[in-house]
Structure 1
Amino acid sequence: MRPHLPDVRPLDSFRSLKIKLGVLVAATVTLAVLITWIGLRNQLGPSRTFPLAIVLSLLLTQLLARGMTSPLREMTAAAQAMADGDYSRRVRATSRDEVGQLAVAFNVMAQDLATSDQLRRELIANVSHELRTPIAALQAQLENVVDGVTRPTPATMEMALAQTERLTRLVTYLLDLSRIEAGAAALNIAQIDVGDFLEENAEAVAMVDAAKGLRYLVDVAPEDLVLEADRERLHQVVVNLLQNAIRHSPAGGEIRLEAYPVDDDVVIEIGDDGPGIAAADRERIFERFARASATGGGHAGSGGTTGGTGIGLAIVRWAVDLHGGRVEVADSPRGATMRVTLPARVAGVAGDGEEEEPVDPTVSDDAR
């Protein structure tokens, strides 16, 4: 069994590994010379002095080298633990040289992996729950119809259709998430009448989510406001924000859709009468799988305690980024207001709405 040497790091203050090696060589040579000189002064022959000098020099080298390479051994052990699913191991990063910088980078990587693993576990749990709920409801309804307990009335079929549409939305979210992982998709830019577009989307979600009796107010100024964008991607943005607003709005509440120009941009705002979004969560909710805390007024895409996978707002940010715009939570006196700012005109698009050149010709995107 190998003897256990203490893990001392007297060379940690040096900023370069080459300097450490130089100090190590100088220290061992100095020690060997010193021992040899002492031995000769005390009339010890070379047969005694040289072996003693060599042994003590090797011990000093082992002691100093152990401290220099200790982070590497810790990283090896931590990597083996990560392979077994343990992401809690960290490396003692006290050195200021290249090995210390590597240890710091390793700790950052370990933290990122731990976060990703936690998010993956949460995603699996959330998606499993989201899939199980509509499937169970749909199965119960169909079993009642098959067993003759419930007649296949239009109302029963509408309930079954609503559960099917919920499943479709979730699958669509997951497909969009795979596009995010694959990289930016190409944009099919066209000229869009903002007022008509918002009216169409508001009517579509109102028909699907009519149970709450929400009011949809569309205010576009000027009325002929137009925007150059990918209609399908912009539809993803607006519908995701509307569905999140619906989820957190009280029954009989109001959802506001506003659009107006600002310099060379077009701003679209979607507001609701819900509990709002805590200031600490306003940036984090746009991250994949992130969910705002319920105590802070969890909101759209965050899930909170009201369900949701935390995917919706990540898809919104992705689609907005593709257009060169930005999405943020705006200050509002009531509820929560999501603000999307997009360039009114996309570079490379002709005035008649036909593309002169593709925005991103490297990646194709199939219509859903």
Structure 2
Amino acid sequence: MFTKLRIGITAKLFAAIFSTCLLVVATMHLGVRLSFEHGFIDYIKKGNEQRLVMLSDALSDQYEQHGNWDFLRHNNKLVFQILHSLEQNPDASTHLPPHGWRTPFWVIDQQYHVMIGPRGPIPPEGTRRNITTSDGHIVGWVIGSPPERLTRSADINFEQQQKRTSWIIVGLTMLLAALVTWLMSRGLLAPVKRLVEGTHRLAAGDFSSRVQASSRDELGRLGQDFNRLAGTLEKNESMRRAFMADISHELRTPLAILRGELEAIQDSVRQLTPASIVSLQGEVATLTKLVDDVHQLSLSDEGALAYRKCKTDLVPLLEVVASNFTSRFSAHGLTLTLRLPEQAPLFGDPDRLMQLMTNLIENSLRYTDAGGGLTISVSSQPGQRTVQFEDTPPGITDEQRQQIFARFYRAESSRNRASGGSGLGLAICQNIVEAHDGSIMADHADAGGVKITVHLPYHDN
């Protein structure tokens, strides 16, 4: 069986560039050869035409001196002496090519009798120059054979030498083109090979894979995008593992409590009383809240939460949410203060915005010491609405401020889960704000607590 030959991209690129070089060099060589051959023939033809004119003028002078052609008939030596003298003492304005005639010529009289020339027939397409006396009578002609091809051995040798030289140049050019093409193909495809190797490692689960992306061209930008993709995948994988660890940790505690309570009742260590039932219901409520928060977070991560945006107003929304917390704040010895304008129109989902405010107020209620309070204010800037939640101590450190919106993070690890919640509320808040194209950040409050600032875009139209 024959194995199908697989040609790599390096070989394909080399073949494409090298074949293009071959085509260019071959075309140039053919063009130069044709130009040389035709140019050399034209060069010889022009020289012969100049000699025909000069010879006809010289023979005209000789004819007037002798009165007839008897001095010339079959006197080849005289003709070549005349040509030699013309080449030795040419007219200053006439530049003849060297080495004399390249083609046969004939001298005929007015009766068309051949006086000088080969025995062969006179070509009808040959170049003809009149031999004219001073009174204008034509007494003969000088006819030159058209130089369709080279006949002299010196010219043929020169042409062959030029051909050999041109082929040597072509060979050296192709070797140079092959070397340059090979180096170019390797250099151009080096980033592609790095991307291929990086992609293979990434597909195998090695999310730490990175490629060198130092160039500023399209391949460089592709390498940068690959590194960003690998970084995102690595971060998501780390978050997934941390999320699963946190979920198992959060579920383990209430389940252990439930199991211990039920085993104690089953072994008659504890009696099934209304108090024990309330305790069990409390752990079930903790589990239910955790599952609900995880579900809400997963929906908001996927963008699956239903957002029905419309023209709404932040002021009445805050007033409704704050009224639901008034009694609870009083029971904890806390104050809830609203600093709201008359109206703060906004385009958004009223239900999700109320969920956002509820989570932020709930977070402040859980973590603010008794005797303090929470102040909510709304302000407007060009193109956005700003909502601030400022509470009193305890505050957070700079390190905690960077992690406060992380999943399952609690600013005070000593708090139990009953008071501290699932640690997913602020993560859900961040997703809701980003779904409204806004931003949320945490900072130190002037009163010593935490200041949560929410920026929501708003356009008058």
Q: Following superposition of structure 1 onto structure 2, how do residues 70-81 of structure 1 map, counting pairs within 5 Å?
A: 70-81=190-201
Check the 8 A contact 1:192/1:231 in 2, yes or no: no
Check the 8 A contact 1:289/1:310 in 2, yes or no: yes
Tell me the TM-score normalised to structure 2 length.
0.51
Establish whether residue 258 from structure 1 lines up as the match of residue 375 from structure 2. yes
Establish whether residue 153 from structure 1 lines up as the match of residue 273 from structure 2. yes
Check the 8 A contact 2:404/2:442 in 1, yes or no: no
What is the rounded CA distance, in whole Å, between the counterparts of 2:218 and 2:281 in structure 1?
61
Check the 8 A contact 1:273/1:336 in 2, yes or no: yes
Q: How many residues end up aligned between the 2 structures?
A: 299
Provide Cα deviations, 1:134-187, integer angstroms capped at 9, x if missing partner: 122222222222222122333322322222222222222222223321256225
What is the rounded CA distance, in whole Å, between the counterparts of 1:206 and 1:162 in structure 2?
23
Cα distance, 1:86 vs. partner? 0.4
What is the rounded CA distance, in whole Å, between the counterparts of 1:245 and 1:78 in structure 2?
46
Cα distance, 1:201 vs. partner? 3.2
Check the 8 A contact 2:388/2:451 in 1, yes or no: no
What is the rounded CA distance, in whole Å, between the counterparts of 2:253 and 2:211 in structure 1?
43
* Matched residue SS, 1:215: coil
Provide Cα deviations, 1:241-291, integer angstroms capped at 9, x if missing partner: 345445645xx535523234435857452524224141x6646644x6495
Distance 1:103 1:328, change over 3 A: closer
What is the rounded CA distance, in whole Å, between the counterparts of 2:188 and 2:380 in structure 1?
58
- Relative contact order, higher structure (CA 8 A, sep 6+): 1
Check the 8 A contact 2:352/2:432 in 1, yes or no: yes
What is the rounded CA distance, in whole Å, between the counterparts of 2:189 and 2:437 in structure 1?
47
Counterpart residue identity of residue 272, structure 2:
P
Check the 8 A contact 2:401/2:443 in 1, yes or no: no
286, 311, 328: which one aligns with 2:441: 328
Q: CA RMSD in A?
A: 4.8
Distance 1:143 1:284, change over 3 A: closer
Counterpart residue identity of residue 379, structure 2:
V
214, 218, 230: which one aligns with 2:336: 218
Tell me the TM-score normalised to structure 1 length.
0.62
Distance 1:329 1:196, change over 3 A: same
Establish whether residue 236 from structure 1 lines up as the match of residue 355 from structure 2. yes
Match of 1:101 in 2: 221
* Matched residue SS, 1:120: helix
Distance 1:325 1:78, change over 3 A: closer
Match of 2:286 in 1: 166
What is the rounded CA distance, in whole Å, between the counterparts of 1:320 and 1:268 in structure 2?
13
Cα distance, 1:133 vs. partner? 1.7
Check the 8 A contact 2:376/2:389 in 1, yes or no: yes
Cα distance, 1:321 vs. partner? 4.9
Counterpart residue identity of residue 216, structure 1:
L
Distance 1:244 1:91, change over 3 A: same
Check the 8 A contact 1:177/1:311 in 2, yes or no: yes
Provide Cα deviations, 1:329-355, integer angstroms capped at 9, x if missing partner: 244131212244669x9989xxxxxxx
Establish whether residue 130 from structure 1 lines up as the match of residue 250 from structure 2. yes
* Matched residue SS, 2:334: strand
Check the 8 A contact 1:327/1:341 in 2, yes or no: yes
What is the rounded CA distance, in whole Å, between the counterparts of 2:212 and 2:359 in structure 1?
44
What is the rounded CA distance, in whole Å, between the counterparts of 1:120 and 1:205 in structure 2?
36
Q: Following superposition of structure 1 onto structure 2, how do residues 1-368 of structure 1 map, counting pairs within 5 Å?
A: 54=174, 57-180=177-300, 181-182=302-303, 185-187=307-309, 192=316, 194-195=318-319, 197-201=321-325, 203=327, 214-221=332-339, 232-245=351-364, 248-249=367-368, 253-254=370-371, 256-263=373-380, 267=387, 269-278=389-398, 282=401, 285-286=404-405, 289=407, 298=411, 311-321=424-434, 326-333=439-446, 334-340=448-454
Distance 1:24 1:78, change over 3 A: farther
Cα distance, 1:69 vs. partner? 0.7
Match of 2:149 in 1: none
More divergent stretch after superposition (158-167 vs 46-55): 46-55
Counterpart residue identity of residue 206, structure 2:
D
Distance 1:322 1:52, change over 3 A: closer
Provide Cα deviations, 1:73-100, integer angstroms capped at 9, x if missing partner: 1111111111121011211213332222
* Matched residue SS, 2:452: strand
Counterpart residue identity of residue 147, structure 1:
D
Identity %: 27
Match of 1:14 in 2: none
Check the 8 A contact 1:255/1:270 in 2, yes or no: no
Check the 8 A contact 1:270/1:338 in 2, yes or no: yes
Distance 1:219 1:342, change over 3 A: farther
Cα distance, 1:325 vs. partner? 6.0
Check the 8 A contact 2:318/2:354 in 1, yes or no: no
Counterpart residue identity of residue 167, structure 1:
L
Cα distance, 1:235 vs. partner? 4.3
* Matched residue SS, 1:70: helix
More divergent stretch after superposition (178-187 vs 77-86): 178-187
